[in-house]
Amino acid sequence: MPLAQLAAVVESLHAALPGRVEADPGRLLPYTTDRSGHRSAGAPLAAVYPASVEDVQAVCRIASAAGVPIVGRGAGTGLAGGAIAGPGEIVLSLRDMDRILEVSEANRLAVVQPGILNGDLNRALAGHGLWWAPDPASKDISTVGGNIAMNAGGLLCAKYGVTREAVLALKVVLADGRLISVGHRTVKGVTGYDPCALMIGSEGTLGIIVECTLKLTPLVTGETATLGAFFATLEDAVAAVTEVTRQGHVPAIMELMDRRTLDCVRQHTGHDVAPGAEAYVLVQCDGPSALATAEQIAALARGAGATVRTTTDPEESARLVGFRRSAFPALEAMGTLLVEDIAVPRDRVGEAFAAVRRIEEKYQVMIPTTCHAGDGNLHPTFVFTGEDVPEHVWAAAGEIFATALDLGGTLTGEHGIGLLKRRWLGDELGAEQYALQREIKRVFDPHGILNPGKVFAE
């Protein structure tokens, strides 16, 4: 598009949202990247900070009329390059739309704007005896709207579900500025198709989420019991978590860290909590029977040869959980990361770990791996030097993705497709479904201006 036309678009944005448009290229550089580490070729055309639904509609009308792409963005904490903007694109930042509009204790729901942070929302809800269950690792810095756009997961998914299970309704602005309401405030609702579910996890390619009606859960009562189990072999750890699931236990958290990850944590923190351990399993149980369940799980872990620490003390519990949460910062300190997130059936987690080890050796690349063991979601994390992902790392990632599909799993459990995985999306969907999904995209965004280049490869 000619520079004069682009300049006219920016002028229109300034006129429609005075004081809420940034067009200085130097100030726009943060929008060229996210926590995936990937970066676009240059600064976007402008960033716009709407304060209302009407502001969002105005931006979409201006962009649609000019054919200028829009990249919706929350806090930029994504790991798949899904909110990266480049030259000629408008960043639509929802961070200023961060208010709680309603809390209904009787209906166990909240209506919020998309820019509110997860952590801030739950701190506000605590006074009502309620909470919003989605618990991504970035909960204190990620937005609710971003979580919904990516269908984010986290440590609590096995018991409390992913984001999709905690959303009742949405208001969405389409590419041409129209506003639609999808979903229901009611517990039940089966009218027509379910575009609300379609919007959740659509990565900003179908519309801009501007209001969220959330399903809330009563605060958990009773004590919380936490155990940390250290195993001599990864195989023993996998056997133990598999048996926990087989016997019907449903802990709030069940995480597994392999030796590569433990080594990185030891090196980063200078603290070795379990010398010689090849794997660490973190389990946390909540609710009235928390301690009894934790003791049963501890017995299973000891039966598999683990050294186990069980506690109901909040400070000791925080240390055990903190050991798991320290994994990502420790890996970041080792080099540049490509963080992936395959998911496999829970009884095939051991095979997935074994495949990662084989691929690591084949390509001579370091791949520390953590796992949400309660739901079979693994995070093979490639560690390398330099800014760009080397081709041998992409090749190794491709083999890991193929392995996940061979095991009956999926390319991504919670991070989404974004830019990073679009080349493999067709492998999972197949040609017919891939084409169908692209047609769905065209129905909502016929001119392809919403987050172009994400999810679907050109």
Residue 88 sits in the same domain as residue 104: no
- pLDDT confidence band for 25 (50 / 70 / 90): very high
Q: Does 386 or 438 have the greater pLDDT score?
A: 438
More confident residue, 100 or 325: 100
Q: Is residue 407 part of a domain?
A: yes
Q: Are 88 and 45 in contact (CB under 8 A)?
A: yes
Residue 331 and residue 35 in contact, taking contact as beta carbons nearer than 8 Å: no
| Model confidence, pTM | 0.93
Same domain for 178 and 210: yes
Pair 414, 378 in one domain: yes
In this structure, of 198-207, 208-217, 268-277, 398-407, the range with the lowest mean pLDDT score is: 268-277
452 in a structural domain: no
What's the token pair of residue 200?
């959740």
For the chain, give the percent of residues with pLDDT over 90.
87
Cα 386 from Cα 363, distance rounded (Å):
17
Is residue 107 domain-shared with residue 26, that is, in the same domain?
Answer: no
pLDDT of 387 reads: 82
Q: 79 with 160, same domain?
A: no
Q: Which of 93, 111, 128 is the last residue of a domain?
A: 93
Mean pLDDT, the chain, integer = 94
Counted domains in the chain: 4
Closest CA to 155 of 71, 67, 256, 78: 256
Counting Cα atoms < 13 Å in the Cβ hemisphere of 13 gives: 28
Per-residue confidence (pLDDT) for residue 346, from 0 to 100: 94
pLDDT confidence band for 128 (50 / 70 / 90): very high
Are residues 196 and 284 part of one domain? no
Helix, strand and coil content of the chain, in percent to the nearest 5, comes to 40, 20, 40
Mean pLDDT across 113-141: 93
**Domain contains 394:** yes
Last residue of a domain, one of 93, 122, 148: 93
pLDDT digits (tens, 9 = 90+) for 252-304: 999 999 999 999 999 998 877 777 899 999 999 999 999 999 999 999 999 99
Q: Is 441 inside any structural domain? A: no
| Structural domain contains residue 18 | yes
> Residue 151 above 90 pLDDT?
yes
Does the pLDDT at position 87 exceed 90? Answer: yes
Out of 3-12, 81-90, 305-314, least confident range: 3-12
High-pLDDT (> 70) share of the chain, %? 100
Whether 319 and 373 map to the same domain: the answer is no
pLDDT tens-digit map of 312-348: 999 999 999 888 888 989 999 999 999 999 999 999 9
Tell me what pLDDT residue 222 has.
Answer: 86
Report residue 156 CA to chain centroid gap: 13
Q: Determine, yes or no, domain membership for 444.
A: no
Mean pLDDT of 45-71: 98
pLDDT for res 154: 86
Asked whether residue 360 is domain-assigned, the answer is yes
Question: CATH code at 68?
Answer: 3.30.43.10
Specify whether 22 is located in the same domain as 72.
Answer: yes
Same domain, 89 and 119: no
Q: Is residue 169 part of a domain?
A: yes
Domain that holds residue 23: 3-93
Whose tokens are 């930029």? That residue is 76
456 pLDDT more than 80? yes
